[in-house]
Amino acid sequence: MIQLGGAAPKPRWSMRLTSAAAAAVLVVALLAVKLAQLQVTDGQQLASLAQSNSIHRVVLEADRGIIYDRHGVPLVENIPVWSMVVTPAGLAEDAIDRAQELATLARIAGVTEEKLVSQLLAADPYESVTIETDLSQADELVLNERLPQLPGVSIAQRSIRHYRDPFIFGHVLGYVGPVDPSQVERLRGLGYQPDEMVGKVGVEAGLEALLRGTNGWADVEVDARGQLRRVLAMQAPVPGDAVYLSLDAGLQKATAAALTAGLARYHHTAGASVVMDPRTGEVLALVSIPGYDTNLFTRGISHADYSRLLKDPDKPLLNRAIAGQYAPGSTFKMVTATAGLQEGKITAQTLLSCPAYINVSGWIYHNWASYSLGQMNVARALATSCDTFFYQVASMVGDVTLARYARAYGFGQAKGIEMPGVMAGLVPDRIWKQLNCGVPDLNSDACRWSEGDTITFGIGQSYLLTTPLNQAVYVAALANGGNVMRPTLVQAVADASGHVVEKQRTEVTSTVPASADNIQAVREGMREEINPPYHMNYWFRVSGVPADGGGKTGTAQWGGSGLDLPTHAWFVFFAPYAQPEIALSVFVERGELSEVQAAPIGIDITKFYREHASSIRSR
Amino acid sequence: MIARVDRLQTLIVAMLAALGVMTVFSARADWPRQVAWVLAGAILYAAATVFDYRRLRTVAPALYGAMLLMLVAVHLVGHTALGARRWLAVAGFPLEPSELSKLVLVVVLAAYLARSERISWRAFGGALGLVAAPAALVLAQPDLGTTLVMCAVAFGMLFLGGGRPAQLGSVITAGIVAVPLLPLLLHGYQLRRLQIFLDPNQDPLGAGYNLLQARIAVGSGGFFGRGWLHGLQGQLGFVPERATDFVFATFAEEFGLLGSLVLLSLFGTLLIRTLRSAGVASDRFGELIAGGVFVMVFAQVVENVGMNIGVLPIAGLPLPLISYGGSATITTLTALGLVQSVMVRQRAVTHAQRPISPLGTITRRAET
C-alpha cells in the first residue's frame, strides 16, 4: 500500500484547496495587521495602562503627634484600627464566586451588599478601596483567617485618635475628623488624602500643621489580587510633632470637678473656668461644661449622635471658655475704678455716696441694696460692689474713655490662643451703638448712646460682652500689675526624636495705661472683698483656704432690660496677693448669686492649686 | 517512508510545542506536566504517522459512537470547573472529551464524505446530522468555543469535500438566521461575553475585565516584547487564564510583535503545509482528513488569537500546541500525526496508480 521510493508527487492545488490556503493566509495576515496596530500604534498607551495596573503610589500616613500636659502626661494616644481594603479588579473572576465573596465581605464588614457593591463600582477597579474603617479585633481575626479565600481583599491598619478623659480635656484638645467635603480641594493642595483625618476644633485644629507630620509614600508593585509584590521606592513618613501644653492635667481635672460639683449644687448645667499663670499667660486649666465625647468624632460621627449634640439645650459643642460671650457684670468694676482713678475723676481716698438708687434724667438706676450703704472710697466700693458708686464714676469718666480702658484690659479682643473659635466679646461705645441699633434711621433715638448706657457700662452691663478666657486675662493683668498677657496653651513642641523645636515665649500684648498706685488701689478693693468683714471670707474659711489674694464676684443680667432679668454668675480671682501665681475666672450660666454659686468653685480650684503648687510648678 | 514525511511540518510542530512549553512556564502553570503531555503527544504523533489512516475508515462509526458516549458521560459524571461540566476522570487523569471530539469529528466526517465523490443533498443532510449531535452535547456543557470549531470543521470539510455552492450557501444562510436566536441558545455568561465583546466598557469589573486585560497585555508587549518571564501583566496575574484561553496575550506581552509575527508565521506555514498534504493524499478520505485537521487548527488559531486581541468575542478555546492542557495538546499532535500518515501514504507519481480524485476540479485537470 505504502508507496516507497520515487519522486514525491506534485501537490494538486485544486480551486478549493487554493482558496482555503488563500483564506488562511488572508485571515492570519489580518490578525497580524490588527496585532501590529495593537502592539505598535496603541502599544505606548496600553503599556502605560499596564504600568498603572500594577504600579501604585501608596501614601504612608504619618503618625499624628501626641499632645501632652505640662508634665508629659499624654492626653491623647494613637490606637491601631483595622480596615478592610478591596481591589475591585482582584475579586474572584467567576460571577458566582464573586457574588459569594461580596456577600462574605459585606457580612464581615457589617454593611449591606448593595452599599458594598456601589462603593466598589464608584472606585477605580485597580485602586484599593477602604470599605470599613473600624473593624473590631474579632472581625479582623475572622477576616485574616479567610483572606486566602478572598482574592483582592487585604487588611490595612491605621492609627486612630483616642482621647483620654474627653469630657475633661475635650474642649481644649478638640478632635480630628474626616476631611470635610467642602474642604477637600483646599486640603488636597496641602497633600491631604481624601480619607485623611484633620483637626477640627481645639488644639487639634489650632496646631494641625505641627501635629500632622509629613506623609510618606511608596511606589509599590501589586499583583492582580492587590497583593504587594515589591517596593520600588519609598519616602518614609515623618511623624507629627509632640505638643506639650501648659495645662496641668491634675489641675484641669480638679477644675472640672470643682466646676461640675459647684454647678450641680444649685442645679446649673453649664459653666466654664479658665485658670492661668498671671506672670506668663500660660493657661493651666480651661474647662467648659458640659463637655462631650470627642472620641465620637474620630471615626466620623453618626448622624444620630451629632444631631443629639446639636439639639442638646446645654450646647455641649460650645466651648464656653473661649466662645461663650456674656456680660461681665460687677467683675467689670475694676475697669471703671481704674479709669476713674487714672483719669483723675477720683482718688483712692475720694468718698462717694452709695445710695439705693440714682436718678439719671428721669430714669431710676438701682443699687443691689435697697438702702444706702453710706460714704465709701473706691476700695470699699469694690468690696461691697456698690453699683451706685460706679454709676457715678462711669458718668464722670464717660463712655469713650471707659471703652478705652476696657480694651486696654483686653476686653473686646479675640485672644491669640492656640485654638480656633476664640470670640472677642464686645466693648460698646456710641459709634458701635449707632451702627448696630438695628433700625434704618441711624439718627433715631434707639441709635443714640444715652447716659443710661454709660452708667450701666460702668457696672459691666449695657452691651458689654466678655468670655471666661478674656476674664482670666483681665484678672491676670490686675494680678501682675497691669500687663495684659497673651494667653497660651502650648508650652513646648518637640519633634519625633524628642528634640524641642519650639518653646513658648511670654508675650505682653498691652499694658494698662495706669500708674502702679492706681492699680494697687483697685487690687486693694479686691483684697478687701474676700476678707472680713465681708461675707465672701466665709467661703474661704469653710474651705480652709487662706484669703490671700484678690477677688470679685459679678451677677450679670442678660436678655434685655428690666428688673427681673435672668442672670449669669461670675467670679474672678488671683492669689496670692503679693506675688500672684494664679489668676482664674469662673462662669456659671444662669447663676443667680455669684458669691454663693460661683466663688466657692474658684476657691476649690485655688485650694487644689495651693495643695499641689510645687508639683504643678515642677518641670 | 521517512522520506515522505513532511519534515518541515514536524519542525514547525516541534517549534510550536517548544514555544508553548516556554509560555506555559512563564505563565506559572504546571509546566512539567505540559512537557509530559507534549512527550505523550509526540509518541501519539509518531504512532499516527506510522499508522495507516485508511484503517480508520472502518472504525469511524465506532469512534463516533464512543465520542457520543463520552460526551453524554460528561453530562452525567463529569467534573465541573469554571462553571462548565467538561472533564472526565480517566485513569486518574482529567480528560476533556470535547477536545478529542474535534478530531473524532474530522475522521468521522472524512469517512462519511469519502463514501462518494460528490455530495448529494442526502449526504449533505447526513453530514449535518453527524455534526449536530456532538455539537449540541458540547454546547450544553456549555462550551461555545468547541461548538464553533465543530461548526467550522463541518463547513470547511463540506467546502473542501466539494460541497455544492447551494449547500454551502444554505449553511451560511442558516448561520445568519441563527444569530437572532443566539440569546435563546446561549448560556447567560456566553451571551454576556458576546455583549461585552461588543462593548467592553459595559463591565470592566466582570467579564469585560478579561478582554481588557488581555488587550492591555498584548499591547504593552510593544514591538520587541518585555522579554521571556518579564511580562508584567502575565507575571502579576492581571491576565486571566493566562496559560490557557489567554495564553496568546501572555506570549504577545513577553515576545512582542516580533515574536507574535513569528508565531503567526509558524501557524500560517503549518496550515499551508497541512493543505499541501491534502493535495498529495492518495485518496479522498486522506484528503478530507488533512483538510479537516486544517480547518480544526485554523479555526482555533483564529478564534484564540482573535479574542486575545479583541477582534472576536471570548469563547474558551486553546491555542493549538501553545495553551496548557493535556487533552488539547494530545489531540492536536495526534491530528497532525494523522496528516503525516496521509503524507506518508501519498499517491504515487504515476497517474495510473492514482485513484480517481475525489475533487471535481482535480478530476477535470487530470482529464485534460
Confidence of residue B363 (pLDDT cuts 50, 70, 90): very low
- Of A82-86, A362-366, A418-422, B29-33, the poorest mean pLDDT is in A82-86
Q: Check whether B28 has a pLDDT greater than 60.
A: yes
**By three-state DSSP, how is residue A156 classified?**
strand
Closest CA to A262 of A539, A475, A611, A465: A539
Confidence of residue A562 (pLDDT cuts 50, 70, 90): low
Q: Check whether B301 has a pLDDT greater than 90.
A: yes
DSSP calls for A47-71 = HHHHHHHHEEEEEEPPPPPPEE-TT
Q: Check whether B208 has a pLDDT greater than 70.
A: no
Q: Check whether A6 has a pLDDT greater than 90.
A: no
Output B222 or A166, whichever has higher pLDDT: A166
Residues 5-64 of B with CB under 8 A from A: 52, 54
* Chain B contact probe: residue of A1, A16, A34, A222 with most B CBs at under 10 A: A16
How much is the pLDDT for A116? Answer: 82
Q: Which cell is A471 given? A: 476674664
How much is the pLDDT for A103? Answer: 85
Region class of B37: left (phi > 0), else alpha (psi between -120 and 50), else beta: alpha
Determine the distance in angstroms separating the CA of A60 from the nearest CA of chain B, rounded to an integer: 23
Q: Which of B221, B240, B309 sits opposite A34 (nearest CB)?
A: B309
Mean pLDDT over B265-289 rounds to 95
Output A192 or B283, whichever has higher pLDDT: B283
* Positive or negative torsion for Cα A600, A602, A605, A610: negative
B176 touches chain A (CB under 8 A): no
* Closest A-chain CA to B216: A46
Burial class (CB in 10 A: 0-12, 13-18, 19+), A498: exposed
DSSP calls for A385-416 = T-HHHHHHHHHHH-HHHHHHHHHHTTTT----
Mean pLDDT over A233-255 rounds to 92
| Alpha-carbon gap, residue A94 to A27, rounded angstroms | 32
Q: Which of A8, A223, A229 sits opposite B4 (nearest CB)?
A: A8
How much is the pLDDT for B205? Answer: 52
How much is the pLDDT for A52? Answer: 66
Q: Which of B82, B207, B348 sits opposite A3 (nearest CB)?
A: B348
B279 touches chain A (CB under 8 A): yes
- What DSSP character marks residue B64? H
Q: How many CA atoms lie within 13 A of A292 on its CB side?
A: 23
Q: Which residues from chain B sit within 8 angstroms of residue A95, using beta carbons?
A: 189, 206-207
Q: Which of A28, A34, A96 sits opposite B311 (nearest CB)?
A: A34
Determine the distance in angstroms separating the CA of A83 from the nearest CA of chain B, rounded to an integer: 22
pLDDT in tens, A277-317: 999 999 999 999 999 999 999 877 889 999 999 999 999 99
- What DSSP character marks residue B180? G
Q: Which of B220, B236, B294 sits opposite A20 (nearest CB)?
A: B294
* Residue type, position A204, single letter: E
B355 touches chain A (CB under 8 A): no
Q: Which cell is B329 given? A: 495538546
Q: Which residues from chain B sit within 8 angstroms of residue A35, using beta carbons?
A: 218, 252, 257, 260-261, 264, 305, 309
pLDDT in tens, A255-276: 999 999 999 999 999 999 999 9
Q: Which residues from chain A sit within 8 angstroms of residue B217, using beta carbons?
A: 50
Strands A483-485 and A508-511: antiparallel
Tell if the CB–CB gap between B83 and A96 is shorter than 8 Å. yes
Confidence of residue A124 (pLDDT cuts 50, 70, 90): low
Burial class (CB in 10 A: 0-12, 13-18, 19+), B117: middle
How much is the pLDDT for A3? Answer: 45
How much is the pLDDT for A454? Answer: 92
Closest CA to B313 of B207, B169, B184, B205: B207
Mean pLDDT over A399-417 rounds to 93
How much is the pLDDT for A4? Answer: 45
Q: Which residues fall within 8 angstroms of residue A216, CB to CB, at 6 or more apart?
A: A59, A60, A62, A234, A235, A236, A237, A238
Determine the distance in angstroms separating the CA of A115 from the nearest CA of chain B, rounded to an integer: 16
Ranges B39-48, B72-81, B245-254, most confident: B39-48
* Closest A-chain CA to B364: A14
pLDDT in tens, A22-67: 999 999 999 999 999 888 888 777 777 776 666 667 778 888 999 9
Instruction: Using a pLDDT cut of 90, give the percent of chain B over it.
Output: 55
| Alpha-carbon gap, residue A321 to A339, rounded angstroms | 27
Q: Which residues fall within 8 angstroms of residue A155, CB to CB, at 6 or more apart?
A: A82, A83, A84, A85, A135, A140, A143, A144, A147
**By three-state DSSP, how is residue A495 classified?**
coil
Q: Check whether B212 has a pLDDT greater than 60.
A: yes
Determine the distance in angstroms separating the CA of A152 from the nearest CA of chain B, rounded to an integer: 11
Closest CA to A605 of A348, A314, A284: A284
* Positive or negative torsion for Cα A10, A15, A17, A20: positive
pLDDT in tens, B72-103: 988 887 776 655 667 777 666 778 889 999 99
pLDDT in tens, A330-348: 999 999 999 999 999 999 9
Q: Which residues from chain B sit within 8 angstroms of residue A15, using beta carbons?
A: 361
* Closest B-chain CA to A225: B237
Tell if the CB–CB gap between A88 and B205 is shorter than 8 Å. yes
Ranges A3-7, A96-100, A479-483, most confident: A479-483
Determine the distance in angstroms separating the CA of B269 from the nearest CA of chain A, rounded to an integer: 9
User: Taking all residues of chain B, what is their mean pLDDT, rounded to a whole number?
Assistant: 85
pLDDT in tens, B45-72: 999 999 999 999 999 999 999 999 999 9
Mean pLDDT over B235-260 rounds to 84
* Chain A contact probe: residue of B236, B270, B277 with most A CBs at under 10 A: B236
Mean pLDDT over A120-148 rounds to 75
- What DSSP character marks residue A535? T
| Alpha-carbon gap, residue A538 to A573, rounded angstroms | 16
Strand order in the sheet with A76-86: A129-135, A76-86, A153-163
Q: Which residues from chain A sit within 8 angstroms of residue B213, using beta carbons?
A: 53, 224
Q: Check whether A5 has a pLDDT greater than 60.
A: no
How much is the pLDDT for B365? Answer: 42
- Of A17-31, B99-113, B313-327, B340-354, the poorest mean pLDDT is in B340-354
- What DSSP character marks residue A372? -
Q: Are A24 and B272 in contact (CB under 8 A)?
A: yes
Q: Check whether B356 has a pLDDT greater than 60.
A: no
Q: Please count the residues of chain A.
A: 619
How much is the pLDDT for A217? Answer: 83
Tell if the CB–CB gap between A51 and B4 is shorter than 8 Å. no
Q: Which cell is A260 given? A: 461640675
- What DSSP character marks residue A226? S
Region class of B82: left (phi > 0), else alpha (psi between -120 and 50), else beta: left
